[in-house]
Every structure is written in structure tokens, then in C-alpha cells.
Amino acid sequence: MDGLLKCIFRATTDPTTAKKAALKELKNMMPEYLRALDMSVKLLPQNKDAKFEHGIRSVKVHHRVDTVMMQTFLHSDEMMYDDDKQDFEFIISQCIKLLDVHLKDGVLSLQLFGLHLGFIPPLFFAANRCRDPVLHNIAKLCFTVLHESRRRKRVWDSCAATGVAERVMLIEEQGLHVSRCQDVPRSNRIILVSQRFDPDT
């Protein structure tokens, strides 16, 4: 998943014809990757522990995130994400299960830093790209837990991710009553594709 994410970011940062072709080829391989993973799991011994199940769940979450990213990142129309509600529902529900593993007596475990991909990036992605109000609110609740836990996964900081996600929500939904994705018009949506930033401002 790490290598795949790097390919996606390289292809979408400065898209060329060759990069777009490579991304399309990767996208076509994604279902096969999942089938191979499922087959591999079936071939393994039946006495899999909770840590193993946690790892498989994490890989499947990131697989789904990568799939959505490949379908949408070369486009600047944020309305495309409205068709991915089922994907976001899967990402958020599985992240909640990943969070549950880290919860003990209602408090997150003391492991504040981790090198694996974790659940901060998928939740951040879902909170920023999914405008469905129900899923939006569930993602916000997850971020509240993460914010209070002050966790880090590689360069991902739960407090910073929470702040950015909440700011994006505030900007996009300002002055609106949102009961469905389409209530957030295209003009309100923050676009993260092919942006150029002036370091002075």
C-alpha cells in the first residue's frame, strides 16, 4: 500500500500522459490485488490472532482509499466524491473497528506513535472528501477521539489532521443546511487537485 500511495501521489502531483497511463493500469489491478489478498488469507492457518485481523482490516481500508483516490484525483470536480458514499461508509466503519482495538476502558492505548499507515490518513481523507452529513458527523466523532489522544502515525498528527478537517468542513458548509451531499454546491468545495501555493502569502 505504501508503494501504491507513492505512485498515486507522483502521478497526480504533475500528471503527464505516461503517468496517467500508469495510473490507469494500477487502477485496473486494484480488484485483482484484493482478490489475491483474500485468497492468501484463506490459505493461512485458521487460528489467526486479533493482531493479524487488525492488520488485514488496515490493508483493506487503505486499499479502498487508494481505489477512490485513483478514480478521482486526476479530476478537479469535487462533486465526483458524492458517488463514493459506499466507499466512505466502508472506510469510516472499518476505521471505527481499528480504533476499537486501540481503545481500553474508553481510553486510547498509550502507544502515541506508530510507523504503520494507521487510521488517521483514511479518516482525514473521508472527513474532507465525503459530504454526506451522517458519515461526516461520524468521522468528526472519530476525530474528536483522535484529537484527545494526541496520536501520531509517521508524519500524521491527529491534532493537526483534526484541525484541518474541521476547518475544511466549516468553510464548505458555512451558511448552508446540509441534509445530503448535493447540498454543498461545487462553488463551496475546497479543491485539492493541482494546486500551486505562494510561499510568501
Does residue 197 lie in a domain region? no
Residue range 127-147, pLDDT digits in tens: 888 888 888 888 877 777 776
Average pLDDT across the chain, whole number: 78
* More confident call, 172 vs 161: 172
CB 98 within 8 A of CB 58: yes
Does residue 46 lie in a domain region? yes
What is the pLDDT averaged over residues 45-66?
82
Does residue 107 lie in a domain region? yes
Does residue 199 lie in a domain region? no
Q: Is 139 exposed, middle or buried (0-12, 13-18, 19+ CB in 10 A)?
A: buried
Cβ neighbors of 150 (< 8 A, separation 6 or more) are: 112, 158, 159
Q: Which domain holds residue 54?
A: 2-188
Residue range 72-131, pLDDT digits in tens: 876 778 888 888 889 999 998 998 888 776 655 444 444 544 445 677 788 888 888 888
State residue 166's pLDDT score. 85
Helix (H) / strand (E) containing 183: none
Q: What is the DSSP letter of 82?
A: G
What is the pLDDT averaged over residues 35-56?
82
State residue 190's pLDDT score. 86
Does residue 194 lie in a domain region? no
- C-alpha to C-alpha distance for 63 and 31, rounded to whole angstroms: 9
Local confidence band at 152 (pLDDT 50, 70, 90 cut-offs) = low
Query: DSSP characters for 87-121?
Result: HHHHHHHHHHHHHHHHEETTEE-S--EESS--SHH
Residue 60 has a CB neighbour count (10 Å cut-off) of 17
State residue 193's pLDDT score. 56
Does residue 201 lie in a domain region? no
Does residue 149 lie in a domain region? yes
Domain total of the chain? 1
Does residue 165 lie in a domain region? yes
- % residues pLDDT > 90 (the chain): 9
Highest mean pLDDT, choosing among 9-13, 47-51, 167-171 = 167-171
State residue 128's pLDDT score. 85
* More confident call, 119 vs 167: 167
State residue 8's pLDDT score. 73
What is the pLDDT averaged over residues 145-166?
72
- C-alpha to C-alpha distance for 105 and 127, rounded to whole angstroms: 26
